[in-house]
């Protein structure tokens, strides 16, 4: 069973996405802030990371930088954000994100993109 680390401080959205991904057969761990994300990554690298940009303590962009440069991991990372302006999108890709989805996020679209990234890996 593939493991997904879902990092988003929006509990309602995280619950909705968690339900959809779980129903598709993925094991999802939800983290609501950057500190928890770092603790989870120290324990185990998941098969894919889905992260919001705006989170307390550690942003999604900082997360991409941490995973790529500190952990030296190539785990696929999908960024989701309501701050989908060009600067954030370009920053996410320059830091090494694999994909970017603007909020509101369709659970069905996220599932397709997660599956696509996992099939590439």
Distances (CA, A) of 118 to 70, 103, 121: 22, 21, 5
Helices (H) and strands (E) in the chain, counts: 5, 5
Query: What per-residue confidence (pLDDT) applies to 96?
Result: 97
* Mean pLDDT computed over 84-97: 89
Architecture of domain 3-120: 3-Layer(aba) Sandwich (3.40)
pLDDT above 70 covers a percentage of the chain that reads 99
pTM of the predicted protein model:
0.94
Residue 63 has pLDDT above 70, yes or no: yes
Distances (CA, A) of 4 to 74, 93, 94, 110: 14, 20, 22, 12
Residue 51 has pLDDT above 80, yes or no: yes
Average pLDDT, the chain: 93
Taking the C-alpha atoms of residue 15 and residue 84, their distance in angstroms, rounded to an integer, is 21
Residue 42 has pLDDT above 70, yes or no: yes
Residue 84 has pLDDT above 70, yes or no: no
Alpha helices by DSSP H, the chain? 11-23, 34-43, 60-65, 86-95, 107-120
- The residue that leads in pLDDT, 28 or 35, is 28
Instruction: Report domain extents, the chain.
Output: 3-120
Distances (CA, A) of 13 to 19, 23, 30, 36, 90: 10, 15, 11, 18, 24
């Amino acid at each position: 069973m593939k493991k997904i680390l879902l990092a988003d401080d929006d509990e309602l959205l995280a619950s909705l996405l968690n339900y959809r991904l779980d129903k598709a057969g993925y094991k999802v761990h939800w983290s609501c802030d950057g500190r928890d994300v770092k603790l989870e990554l120290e324990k185990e690298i998941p098969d894919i990371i889905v992260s919001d940009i705006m989170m307390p303590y550690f942003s999604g962009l900082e997360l991409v930088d941490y995973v790529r440069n500190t952990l030296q991991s190539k785990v696929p990372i999908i960024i989701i954000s309501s701050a989908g302006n060009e600067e954030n999108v370009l920053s996410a890709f320059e830091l090494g994100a694999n994909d970017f989805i603007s909020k509101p996020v369709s659970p069905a679209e996220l599932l397709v993109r997660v599956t696509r990234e996992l099939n590439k890996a």
